[in-house]
Amino acid sequence: MPPRPRPRPRHIVHLVYRFAAGGLENVVVQLINHLPYDEFQHSVVAIAGFDEVFAARIERPDVQVFSLDKGPGQPFKLYPRMFKLFRLLRPDVLHSCNLAAMEFVPMAALAGVPRRVHVEHGWDVGDLGGGNAHYNLLRKIYKPFVHEFVAVAEPLHAYLLDKIGVPPEHLQLIPNGVDTRQFRPWQAGDALPAGWPFERGVDWVVGYVGRLVEVKNPLLLVDAFVALAQCGAPGTERMRLAMIGAGPLDAAVRQRMQDAGLIDRLWLPGVRSDVAEIFRALDCFVLPSLFEATSCTLQEAMATGLKMVATNVGGNAALLQGGRCGTLVPSEDAAALAAAILTHYASAAANPHAASKPPAAHNQPTAAMEVIARQYGLDAVVARYRRLFLA
112 and 86 in a common domain: yes
Residue 166 lies in a domain: yes
Residue 15 lies in a domain: yes
277 and 231 in a common domain: yes
Is residue 311 predicted with pLDDT exceeding 90?
yes
160 and 16 in a common domain: yes
Measured distance CA(257)–CA(219) in Å, rounded: 10
Confidence bin at 349 (pLDDT 50/70/90): confident
Domain holding 100, by residue range, is 10-177+377-390
- Phi-psi category of residue 255: left, alpha or beta, with phi > 0 → left and psi -120 to 50 → alpha: alpha
182-186, 268-272, 310-314, 364-368: the lowest-pLDDT one = 364-368
Is residue 190 predicted with pLDDT exceeding 90?
yes
**What CATH number has the domain bearing residue 155?**
3.40.50.2000
231 and 143 in a common domain: no
- Phi-psi category of residue 165: left, alpha or beta, with phi > 0 → left and psi -120 to 50 → alpha: left
Is residue 362 predicted with pLDDT exceeding 80?
no
Residue 188 lies in a domain: no
371 and 273 in a common domain: yes
Whether 248 contacts 213, CB under 8 Å: yes
Residue 193 lies in a domain: no
383 and 343 in a common domain: no
Q: What is the pLDDT of residue 352?
A: 56
- Residue ranges of E strands in the chain: 10-16, 40-46, 64-67, 93-97, 115-120, 148-151, 171-173, 204-209, 239-244, 266-270, 284-287, 307-311, 327-329
Measured distance CA(152)–CA(314) in Å, rounded: 11
Whether 207 contacts 309, CB under 8 Å: no
Q: What is the pLDDT of residue 1?
A: 62
Chain centroid to Cα 330, Å, comes to 21
Residue 87 lies in a domain: yes
Residue 54 lies in a domain: yes
228 and 162 in a common domain: no
Q: What is the pLDDT of residue 213?
A: 95
Residue 34 lies in a domain: yes
Q: What value does the CA radius of gyration of the chain take, rounded to a whole number of Å?
A: 22
Whether 285 contacts 316, CB under 8 Å: no
Confidence bin at 357 (pLDDT 50/70/90): very low
Q: What is the pLDDT of residue 95?
A: 98
pLDDT in tens, 148-160: 999 999 999 999 9
215 and 134 in a common domain: no
Q: Does the pTM of the predicted model rise above 0.75? A: yes
139 and 29 in a common domain: yes
pLDDT in tens, 247-283: 999 999 999 999 999 999 999 999 999 999 999 999 9
Residue 357's Cβ-count burial label (10 Å; 0-12, 13-18, 19+) is: middle
pLDDT in tens, 90-126: 999 999 999 999 999 999 999 999 999 999 999 888 8
Selection from 336, 272, 326, 323 nearest residue 304 by Cα: 326
247 and 152 in a common domain: no
28 and 172 in a common domain: yes
* Helices and strands (H and E) in the chain: how many: 16, 13
Residue 3 lies in a domain: no
pLDDT in tens, 30-88: 999 999 999 999 999 999 999 999 999 999 999 999 999 998 888 889 999 999 999 99
Q: What is the pLDDT of residue 286?
A: 98
Domain tally for the chain?
A: 2
Residue 375's Cβ-count burial label (10 Å; 0-12, 13-18, 19+) is: middle
368 and 350 in a common domain: yes
Q: What is the mean pLDDT of the chain?
A: 93
Is residue 307 predicted with pLDDT exceeding 70?
yes
